[in-house]
Structure 1
């Protein structure tokens, strides 16, 4: 029976130690669940706000409701509950709105009836608190009042033998060709990068402990004394950390996909049309990202003399991939080929384009996978060279 390659022995040794480390496994479980639940919670809150007025109705306080019975009837037809009130001062109206007992206050002027009968503009005041969560309810109330005014204007024109169409010399018709999937990618697109950033956190503890941690415990000397080359040692440690990140990232993407599939996004005019086959392709393409994350952290940690120093350095360094993910969506840039060359941003862009239901071709997949893999190999080459140097061996 042939002996195992040295890097396999190192890989299995690091995996055993990682599985026994409750801190590392707890960190993986935390990030596997945290980001999908966070995105799901944000979207669920938006859905709840969008459907809340329809489910609960709208509470509206009206001052002078008896002066406009037809308007009150139309408001009630739109699931608006009318609470008639006597005359109130501005301070009283403000206090009522701050109490959150009503969505808005509608005040009809004392001369409303006379102005209406004389065909003069009848003043209606809409009081609301823009700092509250009743923005959608206020918009619904305003829409009813405007529709009521347009109906009256049309009836008056007809009474004088004038067609209401005279008020609208130009008729604009709008056609939205955007699909619910494309709208979803525009809104959720900025959140998709969050699903790939944990790839750097999944392997952080393992990468740091297997390099700087062993150096601090003086156990790295024992490994270097074994009949294994520095390349075998680095490969074993790298693959162990990367494997943990691959498992964590895959589980996270599966959970996130399941959450987005389960949410009733149609309530807010969106949908998540990414299929499980598309997700499988994304997971395969994303394999190079954990490889890069583990290689980068090992390359940084190999130079640290203590576990704490390595953890601090690696934690600051992994903030760099977050910058393009945050900045690029804020700039409203169109999708370009260079985006597929930037780790994390490339994965975010690829997943966003697939969520739109568009065919992206083979090149984006190849660039996304190859760019991260190339950076990973460069980091590994640096680490091996560093471990071979006499200065490094003397400092152990």
Structure 2
């Protein structure tokens, strides 16, 4: 036990001295979530600001007096687009799409002929693209009103075309919170855990081997298990610290949210924090063991880094698996590491209760993965040095 504790203290000191480990762990845990929520809130505010502008930029509105009257009745203003709207939109100076009306619009409409309207915008102009939805909604309402007026002029009651009224009934539980914008948070947290402990795992194996400090450590009378558990304990501590810092960053992150809708959706309290800890700490421990096992066979720091980065790249793909199963998620999700944690974190963000059985399964799977990795590390440690 003394030897194991000595190895643990030595590895922790090395990890704290490694600036790269501290930088990645600090950035991924403390800045990842706040930056993402800040970006989300800004984008959502931009979208809502476009809808609140209630201004329509148009070219040729004089050819569509009925359309202009309809737009004004909806509380919108009609403004003539600048003559150089194409170049100004391409240069991001124009932050709205432009409605283009043909010269014969009113004549074709009066004759009952099919006509068309165009909406011009530059696809690289994000601000202008955000204005498409409110303009489309406005024009769809005008098309519907025009069609109904045409039927009434021909003596057809509009009600006769719609004999059934379709309504929606929401079955959302009162305690369930919306988490539509925050669905990327679990993936961000999982990435922070993997990245936070990765460099510590590489440094304690391939890094020491490259520096030549692993061989002197093997000359001490320590068992492979003591080496494995000591090194794993240090890396797992770094990973768990990343978990704690990431979850702690959720609380000040709420102050950075500039959008009222997102602030209402993202409600994170102490109960949620405890749930996240129970879900993520076992995963951080198992990922530490897996990363050490992956880096152990590598002869150089760069090789170990590449291998572990390949594992890191799997996180986003695993998080996207639920998209393939719309509706009720299959029960086997809770047996897959990362996928199970992603599922449980989403439940917590929505205000749902995570079952004890799901947490127990995830804990047992992580414990099994950790045990298998430690057995491999203990057997492989001396073999690697000998070769």
Aligned pairs, how many?
383
1:47 equivalenced with 2:44 (yes/no): yes
Q: For 1:153-168, what aligned pairs fall within 5 Å after superposition? A: 163-168=157-162
Asked if the contact 2:37/2:256 (under 8 Å) is kept, the reply is: no
Q: Residue 119 of structure 2 corresponds to which residue in structure 1? A: 127
1:72 to 68, 91, 96: 68
Taking structure 1 as reference, are residues 367 and 105 closer, same or farther at Cα in structure 2, changes over 3 Å only?
same
1:238 equivalenced with 2:235 (yes/no): no
Deviates more, 1:281-290 or 1:54-63: 54-63
Residue 238 of structure 1: how far off its partner (Å): 0.9
2:60 to 59, 63, 69: 63
**Any gaps of 5 or more consecutive residues in structure 2?**
none
Asked if the contact 2:63/2:103 (under 8 Å) is kept, the reply is: no
**1:213-260 deviations in Å (ceiling 9; x for gaps):** 223333323322334332222211111111111111221233246536
**Any gaps of 5 or more consecutive residues in structure 1?**
none
- Report the Cα distance in structure 1 between the residues aligned to 2:80 and 2:314, rounded to whole angstroms: 58
1:385 equivalenced with 2:376 (yes/no): no
Taking structure 1 as reference, are residues 171 and 269 closer, same or farther at Cα in structure 2, changes over 3 Å only?
farther
- Report the Cα distance in structure 1 between the residues aligned to 2:81 and 2:190, rounded to whole angstroms: 55
1:304 equivalenced with 2:298 (yes/no): yes
Residue 376 of structure 1: how far off its partner (Å): 0.9
Q: Which structure has the larger Rg?
A: 1
Q: Residue 29 of structure 1 corresponds to which residue in structure 2? A: 26
Asked if the contact 1:93/1:105 (under 8 Å) is kept, the reply is: no
1:213 equivalenced with 2:207 (yes/no): yes
- Report the Cα distance in structure 1 between the residues aligned to 2:370 and 2:160, rounded to whole angstroms: 69
Asked if the contact 1:193/1:347 (under 8 Å) is kept, the reply is: no
- Report the Cα distance in structure 2 between the residues aligned to 1:216 and 1:172, rounded to whole angstroms: 69
Residue 43 of structure 1: how far off its partner (Å): 1.8
Please report the TM-score for the alignment, with normalisation by the length of structure 1: 0.80
- Report the Cα distance in structure 2 between the residues aligned to 1:59 and 1:180, rounded to whole angstroms: 38
Q: Residue 78 of structure 2 corresponds to which residue in structure 1? A: 82
Q: Residue 367 of structure 1 corresponds to which residue in structure 2? A: 361
Taking structure 1 as reference, are residues 183 and 167 closer, same or farther at Cα in structure 2, changes over 3 Å only?
farther
Q: Secondary structure at the match of 2:298?
A: coil
Residue 202 of structure 1: how far off its partner (Å): 1.3
Asked if the contact 1:224/1:230 (under 8 Å) is kept, the reply is: no
Q: Over the residues paired in the alignment, what is the CA RMSD in angstroms? A: 3.7
Q: Residue 346 of structure 1 corresponds to which residue in structure 2? A: 340
- Report the Cα distance in structure 1 between the residues aligned to 2:43 and 2:259, rounded to whole angstroms: 9
**1:98-141 deviations in Å (ceiling 9; x for gaps):** 5764522242654726964x8x4685634333735445534433
Taking structure 1 as reference, are residues 212 and 76 closer, same or farther at Cα in structure 2, changes over 3 Å only?
same
Please report the TM-score for the alignment, with normalisation by the length of structure 2: 0.82
1:20 to 17, 38, 42: 17
Deviates more, 1:340-349 or 1:274-283: 274-283
Q: Residue 294 of structure 1 corresponds to which residue in structure 2? A: 288
1:10 to 7, 15, 20: 7
- Report the Cα distance in structure 2 between the residues aligned to 1:36 and 1:249, rounded to whole angstroms: 12
Asked if the contact 1:287/1:369 (under 8 Å) is kept, the reply is: no
Residue 287 of structure 1: how far off its partner (Å): 0.9
Q: Residue 261 of structure 2 corresponds to which residue in structure 1? A: 267
**1:156-194 deviations in Å (ceiling 9; x for gaps):** 777887654233222222334357997844554355223
